[in-house]
Amino acid sequence: MTPGARVAAAIAVLDIIRDGAPAERALTNWARGARYAGSGDRAAVRDHVFAVLRCWSSCAVRGGGADGRALLIGALREAGVDPGALFTGRGHDPAPLSAAERASGRAPTHEEARDMPGWLWPRFAASLGEAEAEAAARALRHRAPITLRVNARRLTRSAAANRLAEEGIATRPVDGVDTALQVTDGERRIAASAPYRTGEVELQDAASQSAMAALDVADGARVLDYCAGGGGKTLALAARCEASWFAHDAVPRRMADLPARADRAGVRVQLCEMSRLPAQPPFDMVLCDVPCSGSGTWRRAPETKWRLTERDLEAFAARQHGILSQAAALVAPGGVLVYCTCSVLAEENEAVIDRFTTDHPSWRAARRQRWPICDTADGFFLQQLVRGTGPATPA
């Protein structure tokens, strides 16, 4: 595909997304119908689409419209590329720019350049503080870092970096996170690389790694990852602690790959069904990485930033409180309940904890930590809660 043909494909995908289709599904369906497109073409189309999704508001302003064509024109102008060089009408390139399109568009205002829904900005700023919120909004307009977690059971970080370099994957250590390597080149080689296939490294954001490193797990403890998903946090904990590991998710298929990944990593994780959890003896630690808005990770799924509503945010908070209350019944007296989100919004973090401790006075809020959205990590929130030593009370 020519560069212009890639732009034309991205325009078509964006119009499908504008009509309500999820971005990943729209891209997958396009790729299935474009058998002629090689891996480089698919990556380029994806990059165009995600560049717009991260900066939808400012792209629309610069392009002078809200359809896929105008959005791509705006994205190219944002990148300092003359759209006329790609909108040629030759072959599969988009049709040439009209006189109106050439004259359209303007520089975005400061508010428009934040690329944040208007209703959401006051909440975002109140949660982070004005200065940090501005920095976070700028970071969300760019690609997310790709970070690997080194399995400390297998090798050192420097050894992992050398092994990756042998396969054409360049990395650099992330300051303050002993197991983290940020990928600087060759990211598309990761999945096929020997270190990844053998469990020496796993994909995991640096903030998530740092949060798991902040948890103290006693040898021999029973630890339940209550909202396990793919199980990355369980594997991160198991790489540095000798304990009994259990994983549960409300949608069990999300854990389908976990047994194989755990085996590669050299640990054993027991999968638990929800109906059987109450029969398990109490756990010393229960980790709840709850569903949330994902506001700390909007670089990775930017369409959710534009589709989130106030009602959605209220529903997330209610669900988070419910999950935390359910999980609390599984913690042994004196045990620890860990609440975490990849959100930076106070409604999903501090407010949920305040409500929980009010409703459950036998619980005490302990360590709390927030990680900002930055060049090396996503936004993340962690709260540890300690149960009193009285008998467990069902939620």
Residues catalogued as catalytic? 342
Only one residue has tokens 């506001």, namely 295
Degrees to nearest 5, angle at CA 344 with 118 and 136: 65
Q: How far apart are CA 80 and CA 155, in angstroms?
A: 43
Could you tell me the sign of the dihedral formed by the alpha carbons of 112, 115, 118, 124, in that order? negative
Q: Provide the pairing of β-strand 244-247 with 269-271.
A: parallel
- What letter represents residue 373's amino acid? I
Per-position DSSP letters for 169-228, written without gaps between them:
-EEEEPTT-TTEEEEEE-GGGTTTSHHHHTTSEEE--HHHHHHHHT----TT-EEEETT-
Q: Within 13 Å, how many C-alpha atoms sit on residue 146's CB side?
A: 13
Instruction: Write down how long the chain is.
Output: 395
Degrees to nearest 5, angle at CA 286 with 212 and 195: 40
Q: Which residues contact 148 (CB under 8 A, 6 or more apart)?
A: 160, 164, 171, 180, 181, 182, 183, 190, 196, 201, 202, 203, 204
Strand boundaries in the chain, DSSP class E: 147-150, 170-173, 180-185, 201-203, 222-225, 244-247, 269-271, 283-289, 331-341, 363-371, 380-387
- Asked if 382 and 214 count as a contact pair (C-beta separation under 8 A), the reply is yes
CA distances from 154 to 165, 245, 256, 348 (A): 17, 19, 23, 36
- Asked if 384 and 368 count as a contact pair (C-beta separation under 8 A), the reply is yes
